[in-house]
Chains A and B, each alone.
Chain A
Amino acid sequence: MGETAVSPVQVTGTVLTTRRVDAYHALTVVAPGIAERFRPGHFVTVAVGGPHTSMPARRAFSVHDVKPDYGGTVEFVFAVRGPGTSWLAERKARDTLDLVGPLGRPFPLPRDPCACVLVGGEYGSASLFALADSLQQRGCRVDFVLGAASADRVFGALRARRMGETTTLTTEDGSLGLRGRVTDALPSVIADARADVVYAAGPMAMLRGVTAVAVEFDIPVQVSVEEAMACGYGVCMTCVIPVIGEDGVTRMVRSCVEGPVFRGERVRFEDVGTIPFDALGAPGGRAQEGGAHTRNVS
């Protein structure tokens, strides 16, 4: 499962199409440099608000699809949440967008054919179809488990049904598929598919639950996390989560460059939002014996 880093590029792309997909918006943008470097699991960041914007932070979105049209297009899918995504929802064909990508560590792919369960929560499933495509090209079996709060928020159910060996849908309100969460359905899907690996993208709480299930089955799990970002390319240090390294040491790592895809067992989900006391450089921790002060510094 190796992958090489690619350098991101900045592209001023023209919006080719906009569409609504249930609760979501999808934008396809001509962005050749990004499309040609794309690997499943990569994300892009978008500048929002136009020239003289009052919103300096870029917005991150997983790449849903790339196509060769017009030298290369990139599509991302988003839910309107705040002012940035509201602005994006108003974009029309032929508008231009400032994109940077591809960013982040993509999903590692298995060397040999194996059985893979792909778990998506809400718009998280958007990043799983390009992955499924790559896996199937390598002769892997792909099963999907997609879930959301309600039917209109389950993204990509049709495509999953077309691509997957099996597709299991869950909604919390029971409006589509099984009533419940993806983690309720996951154990039987793993067992039936005799899965060798799990891939997951969605809210942090879901990734935590999926990781627990995979650990129970003793199979590897790759999760794509979503932590608030400002730059998306590693310079602002705001997107950190506690992750256990190869050497067993927990570090606060940037989810935009070391992630967003991590091995699930290495992410300390229960400690997200804290600095674990045993993390490298934690206040009062061993690593500070060198004499540095442990107080807050702005």
Chain B
Amino acid sequence: MSAAKKGKLANYWAASCGGCEIAVLGINEKILDVAEAFDIVLWPVAVDAKVHSIEKMADKSIDLCLFNGAIRTSEQEYMARLLRRKSKVMVAFGSCAHEGCIPALANVSNREEIFQTAYHDTPSTDNPNGVRPQTETEVEEGKLYLPLFYDTVKTLDQTVEVDYYLPGCPPEPERIWDAIVAILEGKLPAPGSVIGATTTVCDDCPRTREEKKIKEFKRTWEIIPDPDICLLEQGLVCCGIATRAGCGALCPTVGSPCIGCYGPNEGVEDFGARMMTALASVIDSDDPEEIERIIQEGIPDPIGTFYRFSLAASQLRRKTLEGLDPSGASA
């Protein structure tokens, strides 16, 4: 890799677990090549850089921003807008930025309910004065501010324009490296696309597939799956059929059904809808009552099953706010 002219790289971390930041280190010694090609201007987990120095930079002076995490506070939205302004290429890095991921499962709830649980109801909470985060607090020295906590978790592209997506929870090191090389060599797909495979996890799965006819869905703890046969054929809800390849079918290979962390495959607009279609095809019954029983017993948590990683990016984005305790202004 030529070190003729160093580019600038920013990594950022919004609503996510931090695993994506670590995943970048999963490329091992190749990180040295990255450091040779780029000056790293921001990387919360590894580099001591300040937001103010980013604010002082000229617009579009960062060559590449790998942004991980969903958006659920005003501070995260501020950083997304700032980095978008300063960066030539904005990559939604990992499932949270791409489609909301686990943080977006909070979209079955809202701010009020989450605060109620976190600051009052959990058995480990000790909060006799009922203190809650406020966006503004008067103290002697003046006003203190905290970011606004949203009712709804958003994806990065529901917040700012995104050039590329790198799926996965977290993205696999090889895919990260492929993407960095593609960016350095200018061999990128059309803006707006996902950098990755256009096949499914099933295509990478070594299990044999025959006929899928299911009379009941099983939970993972209910059976010890046969090592060679397709897991869906054994009644386990495996999401490989809707999920983009990229992981090498790690989970189904070792007997655990795919939960969809690599996001929807190319052409799949709504991950859950694709799964509903797929599962509807394998249920072996034409009797409405039996169908009802199979689905009700087999899929007790449709949101968690069909949208574990993609609720924010789904057509409906969240559960209705109606019937939830309205949070009003949190100030």
Q: A and B: real partners?
A: no
Task: List A residues at the B interface (Cβ < 8 Å).
Answer: none
Q: Which residues of B contact A (CB under 8 A)?
A: none
